[in-house]
Copies of this chain bind each other. A is one copy, B any other.
Amino acid sequence: MDRREEIILAAEKSFSMFGYKATTMDQVAKIANVGKGTIYTFFSNKEELFHSIVWKMVEEMKDISERTAIEGASFQENAHARIMQLLKFRETHQLFIKLIEEEKELRTPAVGDVLTTIEKEIVNFIAGKIDRGIAKGELKPCDSKLIAYLLFKSYLALVNDWSKTHDDQLTEKQITDVLNNTIFSSLLV
């Protein structure tokens, strides 16, 4: 069996279950049925192994979001569906959940760094969609990075943060209504 692949699977399992800090290289080696030294022939250190796993997750997340697009739907509809998918992934995927938890409770620096990188990657992903919308003439030209940032932060605020200070969650209709009237409407030609 491919040792590199075994190691990656073991690392995914361990990081997902215990987080970055509580995952030991011995642990990974044991799950992968591999000597600890072997890991170091494929990954130069724990952090590189971690990045590798996280990057794989990000690619999967973008893939899923991509596939969410509806044929023939408007830009707003697709953008909304895609971003909601990203947020759902964020709250559903074992590893992602664990990383957010670890960032909140433990403040592990490596985890903070990785979460920042992921956020940048997501915003770039959204900015790319906006640029494509502009190129296709569906959207007005605009500062796509800035709009993507504002859009993502707004979704995070409405979907995740609102319920932290309010008893009720916002309904999806409330969210689409307010964003269609504000950010999205400013984008359309």
Contact residue among B149, B181, B186 (Cβ-Cβ distance under 8 Å from A157): B149
Interface with B: A60-68, A131-139, A158-166, which one?
A158-166
This chain's copy number in the assembly: 2
A120 at the interface (CB under 8 A from B): yes
In A114-147, the 8 Å CB interface with B consists of 116, 119-120, 143, 146-147
Known: A116-B165, A119-B165, A154-B154. A146 touches B186 (CB 8 A): no
- Give the A interface residue count (CB, 8 A): 24
Contact residue among B120, B149, B162, B182 (Cβ-Cβ distance under 8 Å from A182): B182
In A152-175, the 8 Å CB interface with B consists of 153-154, 157-158, 161-162, 164-165, 170, 174
Residues of B within 8 A of A174 (CB): 143, 146
Residues of B within 8 A of A161 (CB): 153
- Beta-carbon nearest neighbor of A120 in chain B: B165
Residues of B within 8 A of A120 (CB): 165
- Give the interface SS of chain A, mostly helix, strand, loop or mixed: helix
Q: Does A143 lie within 8 Å of B186, measured CB to CB? A: no
Contact residue among B146, B158, B170, B178 (Cβ-Cβ distance under 8 Å from A178): B146
**A positions within 8 Å CB-CB of B:** 116, 119-120, 143, 146-147, 149-150, 153-154, 157-158, 161-162, 164-165, 170, 174, 178, 181-183, 185-186
- Contacts beyond the supplied A149-B158, A150-B157, A182-B185: 11 A-B pairs with Cβ under 8 Å: A116-B164, A120-B165, A143-B174, A146-B178, A149-B162, A150-B154, A153-B157, A154-B154, A182-B183, A182-B186, A183-B183
**Could you name 11 residue pairs across A and B whose Cβ atoms are closer than 8 Å?**
A119-B165, A120-B165, A143-B178, A146-B170, A146-B174, A146-B178, A147-B178, A149-B157, A150-B157, A150-B182, A183-B183
